[in-house]
Structure 1
Amino acid sequence: MTAYAALIIAYRRRDLVKGVLARLAAQSHPPVAVVIVDNGGDLGDVEAPPGLAAPVQVVTRADNPGYGAAVNEARRAVGDAAPALLVLTHDAEFDAELARRLSEALGSAPDIGAAGPVLRRASDPGAIFSAGGRLTRGGRATHVTREPSTRLSDVDWLDGAIVMFRVDALDAIGGVDEEYFLYFEDVDTSWRLARAGWRTVVDRDAHGAQEPGEHPVYLGMRNMALFARRAGIPRIRRSAAAARRLAEVAASALVRGRPAGVSDGWRGWRDGLQGMSGKPAGRGDDRDG
């Protein structure tokens, strides 16, 4: 099996970090090292739980640079310790066989650059919220919500909550793009891996859970536009995809009795097409996955 280091992306939830560490300690295929990137700057010292033999290193980034920066920080911290990196957000839930199955998935073919589990809702374990994702020709990313038909299925992208990367693949694309901040960097990473000749797969036998949250409409649309611009998607296709996405946002908001946020969405779309990126001024929060 492929040896791996684990990354926990933390943001102001010490209790959740302790839970992820306990789940790593229970792995049948344990990590050789654990890196916690503290994007809130207030985690403090962290003790390894009983059963976790791997050294635990905390890297503090109180400036909260986001998901992509945390992955890249961990990659630098790991060095040559392991050929794979298991990325976990601080609210990721998983069983004791997760790392073994994802490690075997990476090792099953030399061109697999990333592998992830079937993710279910933590509040409703019977509901799949992401068995990988698809990317339309217009640049719209959607989750696959049905059970995969085979153990290993090629997908266009993996949700960033739980994913194991081959380190060589990450290095080949220069790591995760840090300019997105919070959303779409997982889509962009798999897209760039594919362009470099690496496959992204979901493992039907690997299980994880998370409670997906709603992202700000502005950032979701801005980063979708940023990706479409970088991917060279024709204007007609990307505009149609944006209109459909905003229509869905408005419909969902109407059902829930919330403000539609369409104006924020169009503003984000405009800013993304103009190349605006990174953490918007005044934002301090980080993604949960």
Structure 2
Amino acid sequence: MISALGVVIPVHGAIEPVLPLLDALLGEGVPDADRPAQVVVVDDASPHPVDAARLPEGVEFVRREVNGGFGAAVNTGIDHLTTPLALVLNSDLEIPPGFARTLVEHAAPWQPAVVGCRNADHSGRSGYAARVFPTTAHQVVEWLVPLAGLRHLDLLHRAVGHDMRAERGHGMVPVDWVSGAVMLLPVAQVRAIGGFDEGYFMYTEEVDLQKRLRGQGIPSLYDTDLTVLHVGGASSGGELRRRRWLVGARMRYARKHRSVVALRLGLTAASAVNLVWQTGRRLAGRDVDPLGAAREELSLIWTAGRDLPR
């Protein structure tokens, strides 16, 4: 048993897609040496409550009465841990045999630290789980529709904040932040800064957490020798709602750590470029709605996140 490790898996929705992950952690074929000391599943007020009887033996189950989003669910799970390390896993992951034990062993010389690893989809495409702290320039470049077809280029990857040095690195690579799909966290240090900021409902909460931990001298590292399969988007809902959560979260992060005014102005300028680009495509016969897209973008820029706690 990995005595130092507790696993936290937030869930919002059906439990069936999560069962293979739980089986990979605690199933009959898993050696004792690969089993975490605790596995906590947090039902974040799913519309149809998770049936705890469906969970494998050894899983601790907690149901939240209010859907607070990813960070709130992880905080709830960490509150139930008695271990010094917490491994946060998205519910839609597929992990290789011995994953938890290997990650803890690789991270041991660096502790206390936040540690993540590579993730990829079933086609082998990278999720670029290692990134640099976001800037206004990163998010403006990402907002520009004319550049969408060029995002396979290294220049564009770097321009939106992907850490390509880590992506092509070996061993444990220090980075600014790692994706929340897989995060090994030092529990005492996370609790000391108040855990995840629950003002983020979805997206950017792991960036904010690692930014605050960095201020306390806690590094983030990327384990390039481990890879998980990540489907992604399991609980995001429709695209417009997903974008509203994302933009709202970025506004909150900018308000806390940079300048929300600069971000709104930069994205507005990018939307003006998008309008000109889409108008040209419309004149060329493409089935696009330049004004409709511009209205949607501007609504997101100037209203998303205003209803979130400050």
TM range (shorter): 0.7 to 0.9
Deviation for aligned residue 1:162: 1.5
The answer as to 2:67 corresponding to 1:35 is no
Q: 1: distance between equivalents of 2:252 and 2:295?
A: 18
- Any conservation in 2 of the 1:2–1:106 contact (CA below 8 Å)? no
Which of residues 194, 202, 221 in structure 1 aligns to 2:247?
Answer: 221
- Deviation string, structure 1 residues 86-117 (Cα, Å, up to 9, x no partner): 111211111123212321243112342x1111
Alignment of 1:46-85 (within 5 A): 46=53, 49=56, 55-78=58-81, 81-85=82-86
2:175 is aligned to 155
1:130 equivalent in structure 2: 128
Identical-residue share of aligned pairs (%): 25
Aligned residues: 266
Greater fraction of residues in helix: 2
For the residue of structure 2 that corresponds to 1:198, the secondary structure is coil
| Root-mean-square deviation over aligned CA pairs | 3.3
What letter is aligned with 1:43?
A: V
Equivalence for 2:144:
none
What code does the residue aligned with 2:133 have?
L
Question: CA shift at 1:228, angstroms?
Answer: 0.5
Distance in structure 2 (CA, Å) of the matches to 1:246 and 1:12: 38
Distance 1:117 1:182, change over 3 A: same
Structure 2: gaps of 5 or more residues: 140-159, 234-238
> Where does residue 266 of structure 1 map in the other structure?
298
Alpha-carbon distance in 2 for matches of 1:245, 1:46: 50
TM-score (norm 1): 0.79
Structure 1 position 183 matched with structure 2 position 203: yes
Q: Secondary structure at the match of 1:135?
A: coil
Return the letter of the residue paired with 1:44: D
8 Å contact kept, 2:39–2:60: yes
The code of the aligned residue for 2:75 comes to: N
Determine the C-alpha separation between the residues in 2 that align with 1:247 and 1:102.
44
Seen in structure 2, the aligned counterparts of structure 1 residues 235 and 11 have a Cα distance that, compared at 3 Å, is closer
2:99 corresponds to 1:98: yes
TM-score normalised per structure 2:
0.74
**Are residue 5 (structure 1) and residue 6 (structure 2) matched?**
yes
CA shift at 1:190, angstroms?
A: 1.3
Cα deviation code 1:115-163 (max 9, x no counterpart): 1110001x31x21112312224327464446733121112222211111
Whole-angstrom CA distance in 2 between matches of 1:84 and 1:261:
45
